Chain A
């Protein structure tokens, strides 16, 4: 069955440090891949998406993600984290033909000043 795994439940980084959040998907076919961010009490906002083509995709708020087929991964990165980036981040995958959007468990990011 299709699944999305985010191995890190909580991550804490210092402001200005670099960030990488991990995401892996299972199931043979390559899905469409997404990263969403959720601030407390809010809905989910799309950061970036990968459908095909260039495996390094740029998103909003200075985030980028790299798709690696060999590792079934789609890790989210940011070179310098800001305090306002503290939130919960969700990786999601959608397999064509099923149109079923599956989310990982989320990674809660805390940013120290």
Chain B
């Protein structure tokens, strides 16, 4: 298996634009997590899914953030509109028992 695949690896966008981050989990994994990592806040859990169903989105910072998992092999995290304070590295992880992480998407909002 290729592991958890995230795209894009880097994204630079202007404030106010919509940003969509993508994640392909490992086949057979039933849980998927979205994390945000910054120097100030560390690794924050934004939302997680079990069997494609969102279980806990209490970590989503604002209504500007939304996440979907339309099927077992794909998830998106969308920010609309984006703001400079959203600049961070966003990680997707999938698990069946232990979690495996993607390489992350480094988002810069200018």
Contact = CB atoms under 8 A, between A and B. Distances in A.
Contacts of B55: 98-100
Interface in A89-113: 90, 92, 94, 98-103, 105-106
B45 A103 contact: yes
- Give the secondary structure class of A's interface: strand
A70 to B, nearest CB: 25
Interface string A23-54: 00000000010101000001111100101000
- Give the secondary structure class of B's interface: strand
B108 interface: no
Nearest to A106: B42
Nearest to B42: A105
Interface in A52-107: 90, 92, 94, 98-103, 105-106
A12 B45 CA distance: 28
A101 B95 CA distance: 10
A92 B95 CA distance: 13
B71 interface: no
A44 B91 contact: yes
Contact of A44 (B45, B50, B97, B101): B101
A100 B100 contact: no
Given A34-B98, A34-B99, A49-B98, A101 B43 contact: no
Given A44-B91, A105-B42, 12 more contacts: A32-B98, A34-B99, A43-B91, A43-B102, A44-B93, A44-B101, A46-B99, A49-B98, A90-B43, A99-B31, A101-B95, A105-B43
Interface of A: 32, 34, 36, 42-46, 49, 51, 90, 92, 94, 98-103, 105-106
Interface of B: 31, 33, 35, 42-43, 45, 48, 50, 55-56, 91, 93, 95, 97-104
